[in-house]
């Protein structure tokens, strides 16, 4: 790993707790309106529409659209299942912005600050630029640039997303590490020639329901970004 110059990060699940944050934000907005549902189930249902929506873009059936727009389509699709088909437009707009208010796992800000002393850092997420900007401001992510899907105008795991992000940093794929809590993301990055680091987020989908360990070969496997900074020699 001596030639590494840049680190690219998956964000949803890897850096931020989307499930707990979406459940909290949905409750904060809807409970005062008398809504009482299983908030974690609501977060899970919303997230379950994520891959199918992006597949519309990856397959070419839909032109590239920001993830915010896909999140909104997906929200409209799931609201009836929770008895919320009559939720007004203003509330839907506000609820959709919940994805801009996700909280980081506790090791992330400190880990990124250490990693930045040696490497160029960017998210390589399917989230759009403005969403990444809001998460960075909220959680003190010290990005050098916002790369990923909107920059490449396609969605992971298409190889162009990883390759365009590495190239923006003037790095070859072999000089770039993809950091993620998901084996599928790392397998795609490795197939594109990147190095890979697995960060365990065992509670991503609820207690004990995240990936405990990578089920594909990876270059590094760590329990936190602090441990990754240690492994990569960052003070």
Q: Does 133 bind its own copies (CB under 8 A)?
A: yes
Q: Does 81 bind its own copies (CB under 8 A)?
A: no
Give how many residues touch its own copies by CB under 8 A.
19
Q: Does 9 bind its own copies (CB under 8 A)?
A: no
Q: CB-based burial of residue 83 (10 Å sphere; 0-12 exposed, 13-18 middle, 19+ buried)? A: exposed
Closest approach, Cβ 65 to its own copies, in A, equals 12
Distances from the Cα of 192 to the Cα of 85, 137, 156, 159, 219, angstroms: 42, 30, 11, 6, 14
Output 147 or 177, the one with its CB closest to its own copies.
Answer: 147
> Which member of 136, 186, 200, 225 binds its own copies (CB under 8 A)?
136
Output 176 or 181, the one with its CB closest to its own copies.
Answer: 176
Here's the x/- map for its own copies, 151-180, by CB under 8 A: it reads as: x----------------xxx----------
Binding site for its own copies (CB under 8 A): 68, 120, 128-130, 132-133, 136-137, 143-147, 150-151, 168-170
């Amino acid at each position: 790993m001596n030639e590494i110059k840049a680190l690219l990060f998956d964000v949803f699940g890897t850096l931020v707790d989307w499930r707990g944050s979406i459940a909290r934000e949905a409750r904060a907005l809807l409970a005062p309106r008398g809504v009482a549902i299983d908030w974690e189930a609501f977060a899970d249902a919303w997230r379950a529409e994520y891959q199918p929506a992006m597949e519309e873009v990856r397959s070419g059936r839909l032109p590239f659209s920001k993830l915010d727009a896909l999140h909104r389509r997906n929200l409209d699709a799931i609201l009836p299942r929770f008895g919320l088909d009559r939720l007004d437009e203003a509330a839907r707009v506000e609820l959709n912005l919940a994805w801009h208010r996700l909280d980081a796992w506790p090791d992330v800000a400190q880990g990124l600050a250490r990693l930045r002393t040696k490497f160029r850092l960017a998210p390589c997420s399917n989230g759009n630029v403005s969403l990444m900007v809001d998460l960075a401001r909220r959680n003190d992510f010290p990005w050098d640039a916002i790369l990923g899907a909107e920059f490449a105008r396609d969605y992971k795991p298409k190889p162009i997303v990883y390759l365009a992000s590495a190239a923006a940093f003037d790095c070859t794929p072999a000089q770039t590490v993809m950091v993620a809590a998901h084996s599928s993301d790392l397998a795609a990055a490795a197939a594109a020639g990147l190095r890979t680091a697995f960060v365990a987020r065992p509670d991503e989908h609820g207690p004990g329901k995240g990936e405990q360990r990578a089920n594909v070969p990876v270059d590094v496997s760590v329990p936190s970004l602090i441990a990754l900074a240690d492994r990569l020699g960052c003070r």
